[in-house]
Amino acid sequence: MRPTVWAMLMCLVLTPWARAATFDCDKASTSVEKVICSDTRLTNLDDQLGRQYKDVLAASSNGGALKAEQKAWLSSRNQCKDSDCIMKAYDDRIRVLYAMSAPAKSGDVTGTYKMKNRGAAGVVLVQQTANGRIKFYVNATYRMNTGQLSGEVPLRGSAGNYVYKELDCTLSFNFVPDSLVLNQDGSCGMGLNVSAAGTYKRVSSTPQKFEE
Query: pTM of the predicted model, to two decimals?
Result: 0.59
Confidence of residue 123 (pLDDT cuts 50, 70, 90): very high
Tens digit of each residue's pLDDT (9 = 90 or more) over 31-76:
999 999 998 889 888 998 998 898 888 887 778 888 888 888 898 8
Type of residue numbered 104: A
Q: What is the pLDDT of residue 8?
A: 41
Confidence of residue 198 (pLDDT cuts 50, 70, 90): confident
